[in-house]
Structure 1
């Protein structure tokens, strides 16, 4: 039965228990008495050890049997223990376990309980043994004997004698706030104390629990430390800082260490102080002294500095040195004050003075021409007279016009001005050859080329060069109209599109009806290369053998069958004035082609003819006989028509009347028949031959309208129009 000595009990397990102390009393009965006690220690599993005690088949046994059973453990688990046996005689005697007692320590609470092993028969004949087993988690104890702390885990264990076994063993060190007793050792700088009837490890006096261990507190200024919390031994020395490769207690912010004490530091200018080291609140205010006869010590500026509000500023500043107020700029440089310059404040000369960078002094400014001077910067009273010219060494100079400037009419004007540069007087324009004129252009006056010269690539060259004269650039060639080109040979040539004729340049590629002076100009329209006079003006016109048509010169006198584009070209063959769809000249309408001539076609009976093919004006009239159109063979001319020669006339005319019969009905038929043939004869006299203009048949008949050809000697309508408009 388990007896609990504290109400605050938690479940025990191999992972959480601190250790299990089992004291087993084994009664061994010997056949003889022994006077000497023997001890043996070995490692064994608590589970296997307890199982061995509960197994009655092991009775009786030798102690060596238990040791052999434990040796069978090749690896140990969380319940690995250290077993210690003691006996008075020999380990080879029969033994038996009659009773066992265990003590359990868990979270500072002690439990007592009995173990009841299986009883052996004839116990009075067995040897009496005592055994102690100490069990703990493998991470808490190594279960070994020791002679000193070096044989244990020095970080977590200590070597200490155990009262039960009277041996030195490694015992775990108890941490702060963990339970403890007479057999457990509290870690460094802690001790086992009882609080509210419970014994736990607590930090010793003068130590506090910081970062899982007891660390010394109330450390003084300058002593070694690890944490700020330790530094409480000296007032205002609460920081643990690195100082020369170690950490020590140091004064807190805004305090300074003086003679093992922390005084308030960073004392501002004019504030009370005790020692000079306190005066570091403002740069250069390191003097702790009295001021103006006062007995109170205050922080003051050190020598060479002046007080300005709450800061100390360096005095006696020279030219170009940084400053904040005028008083910093010393008198040794002359009239200097503190000015803003390029986002900075520097000691610079006052208004009316300029800086002498060599001597670092301020010189009087605004000196005019011929005034005395030491440096050029003084000479700014006259425009462009900013040069201090020294006539004799060692004497003062005089203000003079700058280099490339000259005194002209009471002013220093720049000379050597180049073409198109600004000027006020012609004497300035001597930088470019032949550019000595100063004249106005808009709102400015500029240097320009002399009369008769032109500007070219920044220089002045001769202008108005004539055809054939020497030149450098096209712009020179303006003495002859339509030149404008300087050739590779360095002479003026006619411009592109113009032709040189004698000493003049005439435009070429003139088109038809455009003005001209020479036929060589007329090359703009094909075959229009003749310059003729029309209406008192010379115009380009078509060459001989060509006719103008809609601004184009077309070849005329095209004969029958020759190529053509327009009807007017077909005037080489009489009555062949038509240009067909196949692009060749054809016979006019009403004419037919017979070899290389066009004859009148569709000629009626009795009219003049020269070929049978002309006689197509009447039916059956297909023959030209004696120069007249006549009926073809087998037909006779009767009443302006051709009738069969073997049929009486009346039969031919009144055939229907005979068929109809006589009587009244016959009269009607006769009348109708007469009217029919009268109309038929009238229609036949108007017949015309239908011609298809077969271009490959030399005898085909053309029926296109005749187009009159314009006379070559007449002025075309377009030319007349141009003349009337004053070409």
Structure 2
């Protein structure tokens, strides 16, 4: 009979014309559990160009590009690594972005490596100056060909012939060179025809910039309205038109290094990608040698679509620090100024000084580096002097009463509390370190102008240990100051040891040393903390009947602790105190006998009634 029921159940499950599986559908109306999905070949799936989010409860547009709208991180996986869906706390949607410490280039996020850092690919190399082509990887990130190191890891492109790009005079590196800052072009000042050429270039450049401003607006619109774009459906039998490629979500998307136009019918080029004039539409971007690029020594936006306007003079207005990096990484966009709130470029005064000749916020010169006046020189936090050599060239040097050590000018003999640059200066007392001022090293404390060991600090003799009731003891860490016998350490003080439970105390450490971790000093008496109980000379976690245990001391029965023991890793009643299911406790021998007698009487009464 039982086999017959199994056969009927099997027949019902197999009869798909009448029974609809939980995971299948007959129409779109059956797909309510996945919002926005459709019924395709008997299964609920997202439409082409969409993917499931929020635990498979909703279909949303795919996010194939940087700045694509998104809901969850996994939608941005086309960025390969170091990506996330960046959103504010108040928004449920965000945009695909690279995580902090990563940058976008050639269609994906790369771990950022600065000048001098180890690297495996040139795409990883990007410093504060936003020009991804300024660095190349040769085991470490270094200046690329055509770039020079202007100062301490700042690489800047130079032009070696007339007609090349520039922003500053120093960018043009050939005889009789000058930079036309209206056209951003190097020219030979001895060439008479230059005036006509530069005017023509100025006109062409202004036309290009005006056109790019308009195209940039379209570019921003493409990013902001991407979810509304209607992408072309594709599959193995319906390929995408060039240059699109078919995505795993059944719609055409642009290849890596490109992004869609607002109507999703054209692929625009990222900066650095091969491009036609029509594809290179970012702000101030232009096609150079067949590649969508920024002009030499212009800077690249994080989105690698737009170029950032550069300042040509230190006093020019700015919007962000990047505008000012024409003058080096230590140039910044200063605070708004009255009355109009206009901001101007300036050097960061704590780290650099303006060099008019080099048109750069020059980092303070260190020992041995060139200088003109004393204020150019800085060694650590100390202003040092500028001296001249036999050729009349200035260089930074330490004052005569200081010694040069690892780029710093150091003195010696500093006492505790005196300002310092290095531990080497704190020599008036032993066991000192420099923390802005000379201080005692870890394991030591200041006592009358010298550093004495704290409890646990190194010592040689008992007299080295100045804390009351400490002696010098040989331990596994060597000879260290420890509390004497019958004392307990707490906060670098040795407290008298106590005999045990309910003894007078001052700090919990006194109780814990005797009663264990459950011991606590409360109301000046040693007791057990909450959820612990006192037994066998210590405080143990309360462990009830039939709970796991390791020793009998853990087992607790209110008012009758001697009745419970740890047996077979569980707290149970001792054999002489049987367990009463009715009372839920361990009975005494006398109570057990009474209970047995009562049970016998009740059994006899029940038999007589029947």
Q: TM-score, normalised by structure 2?
A: 0.24
More helix by share: 2
